[in-house]
Amino acid sequence: MADSFGPMHDGDAVEGVAGMGPDGGTPRKEPIRVLVVDDHALFRRGLEIVLAAEEDIQVVGEAGDGAEAVDKAADLLPDIVLMDVRMPKRGGIEACTSIKEVAPSAKIIMLTISDEEADLYEAIKAGATGYLLKEISTDEVATAIRAVADGQSQISPSMASKLLTEFKSMIQRTDERRLVPAPRLTDRELEVLKLVATGMNNRDIAKELFISENTVKNHVRNILEKLQLHSRMEAVVYAMREKILEIR
């Protein structure tokens, strides 16, 4: 099953926005509980077989569409929901918001064949913490699950460039609009947010600013609380839209 999602070349590891990865935190005491959601039973089974080999990951349930995913998430309260975008009855993006309501602590990773910018952006707005294409290797699925469980955002590299393009076009569309003043971030929070936007993980940010990783995590949490957002990616989208920072 090692090639179930397609080959991946050296250096193509799944990362966060332009390069976010795991923060290298301490090992978890309990396995990461995962709910697998896809309308193809064979694909779900393949994921279960692959993830069963990981001692720190446990597949606790599966669903075939977004509606069933919401019910299962409410019942199982998983740590991670690994979900397709386009499914019958109810799609993954539409289900994101409802899942966040019934299982607030669950983090959602979209695993899809869709490389449409609109799907990526809508998934982020709906609260997804990761967006991965099914072309990734099976090993990278487990890596992404661990990273998201540790608080990182994950996005396939090919989609990261599309996200940055969306940032720039978003700024152009809002150039002539009067923007509502954004909640004030401290100078240090702005520094952290800018480094998040360049793709640094918590460890790299800590080294850059000469502070601890825990301090970085606290800053990121404060930023999300102030902006009332769900994920690091969404914070960057918001910051670009409100011209808090600019990626050149």
- Where residue 180 sits, what CATH number does that domain have? 3.40.50.2300
Indicate whether 209 and 142 sit together in one domain.
no
Output 177 or 58, whichever has higher pLDDT.
Answer: 58
Indicate whether 145 and 87 sit together in one domain.
yes
Cα separation of 195 and 96, whole Å? 27
What does each C-alpha distance from 100 to 86, 90, 208, 222 come to in angstroms? Answer: 18, 15, 33, 19
Indicate whether 155 and 169 sit together in one domain.
no
Q: What does the pLDDT look like over 27-38, one tens digit per residue?
A: 567 899 999 999
Q: What does the pLDDT look like over 214-235, one tens digit per residue?
A: 999 999 989 888 888 877 777 7
| Segment (H or E) for 33 | strand 32-37
User: What mean pLDDT comes out for the span 14-38?
Assistant: 63
| Residue 79 domain-assigned (yes or no) | yes
List own/partner pairs for 211-217 with CB under 8 A and 24 or more apart.
213/23, 213/24, 213/25, 216/192, 217/23, 217/151
Residue 103 pLDDT greater than 50, yes or no = yes
Output 167 or 40, whichever has higher pLDDT.
Answer: 40
Indicate whether 196 and 150 sit together in one domain.
no
Cα separation of 130 and 111, whole Å? 8
User: Domain total for the chain?
Assistant: 2
The answer to whether 127 and 231 are in contact (CB under 8 A) is: yes
Helix, strand, coil % in the chain, rounded to nearest 5: 45, 10, 40
The answer to whether 232 and 201 are in contact (CB under 8 A) is: no
Output 100 or 125, whichever has higher pLDDT.
Answer: 100
Indicate whether 107 and 184 sit together in one domain.
no
pLDDT at 83: 95
pTM above 0.75, yes or no: no
Indicate whether 63 and 135 sit together in one domain.
yes
Q: Which of 159, 185, 219 is the last residue of a domain?
A: 159
Q: Write out the residue range of the structural domain in which residue 149 sits.
A: 32-159
| Residue 139 domain-assigned (yes or no) | yes
Contacts of 116 (CB under 8 A, 6+ apart): none
pLDDT at 241: 72
User: What mean pLDDT comes out for the span 101-115?
Assistant: 91
Q: At what angle do helices 157-174 and 117-125 cross, to 10 degrees?
A: 80
Q: What does the pLDDT look like over 72-89, one tens digit per residue?
A: 999 999 999 999 998 988
Least confident of 6-20, 99-113, 184-198, 226-240: 6-20
The answer to whether 24 and 203 are in contact (CB under 8 A) is: yes
| Residue 167 domain-assigned (yes or no) | yes
Indicate whether 37 and 151 sit together in one domain.
yes
User: What residues does 82 pair with on adjacent strands?
Assistant: 36, 109
Indicate whether 130 and 213 sit together in one domain.
no
pLDDT at 163: 67
Indicate whether 38 and 130 sit together in one domain.
yes
Indicate whether 188 and 211 sit together in one domain.
yes
Q: Which of 159, 194, 219 is the last residue of a domain?
A: 159
Indicate whether 145 and 223 sit together in one domain.
no
- Average model confidence (pLDDT) for the chain? 79
The answer to whether 117 and 165 are in contact (CB under 8 A) is: yes
pLDDT at 153: 82
Indicate whether 175 and 222 sit together in one domain.
yes
